[in-house]
């Protein structure tokens, strides 16, 4: 099926448009989401290794704090973290297909930082997405 804008003609090469199939949005695979979150984590580890913090002042939690900030800000502003953009994924509301509210992005990101919800997957959807009524979709390619 040809990818189309919700309210318009055939989609060109725009990033923000998720791919739709007959049943709604095409859900990203577990492998795509795992690669995206790994990219985000590796970037945060690389940045945190360059920040001079003594071990007694929370050096171990610095990558997690950077991860939360990066994922929260980019998801709130662009509907995708850096890793998700590289993998051409987008976070949307399952109810409306639109971007999530800032409050839901904060809760979703906090649940991701707890590690367990993204690992507990039911029907290609982690518990963090189930709780926030969100989903990660593939973005149309030209």
pLDDT tens for each residue of 68-89: 999 999 999 999 999 999 999 9
pTM of the model: 0.76
Q: Is residue 5 domain-resident? A: no
**Where do the DSSP E strands lie in the chain?**
20-21, 24-25, 89-93, 121-122, 125-126, 134-138
Q: Is residue 27 domain-resident? A: yes
Q: Is residue 1 domain-resident? A: no
Mean pLDDT, range 52-73, rounded to an integer: 87
Q: Is residue 117 domain-resident? A: yes
Residue 28 pLDDT: 82
Q: Is residue 52 domain-resident? A: yes
Residue 77 pLDDT: 94
Residue 64 pLDDT: 93
Q: Is residue 105 domain-resident? A: yes
Q: Is residue 86 domain-resident? A: yes
Q: Is residue 10 domain-resident? A: no
Q: What is the pLDDT of residues 13-52, one digit of tens each?
A: 344 555 555 445 678 888 888 899 999 999 999 999 998 8
Residue 102 CB partners (closer than 8 Å, separation 6+): 76
Do residues 128 and 136 touch, judged by C-beta distance below 8 A? no
Domain with 110, as residue range(s), is 20-138
Number of domains observed in the structure of the chain: 1
């Amino acid at each position: 099926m040809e990818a189309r804008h919700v309210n318009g003609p055939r989609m060109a090469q725009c990033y923000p448009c998720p791919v739709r199939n007959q049943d709604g949005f095409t859900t990203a695979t577990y492998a795509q989401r795992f690669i995206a979150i790994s990219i985000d984590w590796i970037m945060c580890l690389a940045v945190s290794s360059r920040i001079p913090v003594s071990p007694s002042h929370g050096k171990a939690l610095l990558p997690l704090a950077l991860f939360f900030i990066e994922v929260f800000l980019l998801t709130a502003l662009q509907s995708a973290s850096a890793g998700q953009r590289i993998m051409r994924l987008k976070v949307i509301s399952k109810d409306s297909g639109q971007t999530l509210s800032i409050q839901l992005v904060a809760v979703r990101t906090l649940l991701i930082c707890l590690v367990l919800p993204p690992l507990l997957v039911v029907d290609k959807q982690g518990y963090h997405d189930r709780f926030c009524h969100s989903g990660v979709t593939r973005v149309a390619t030209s």
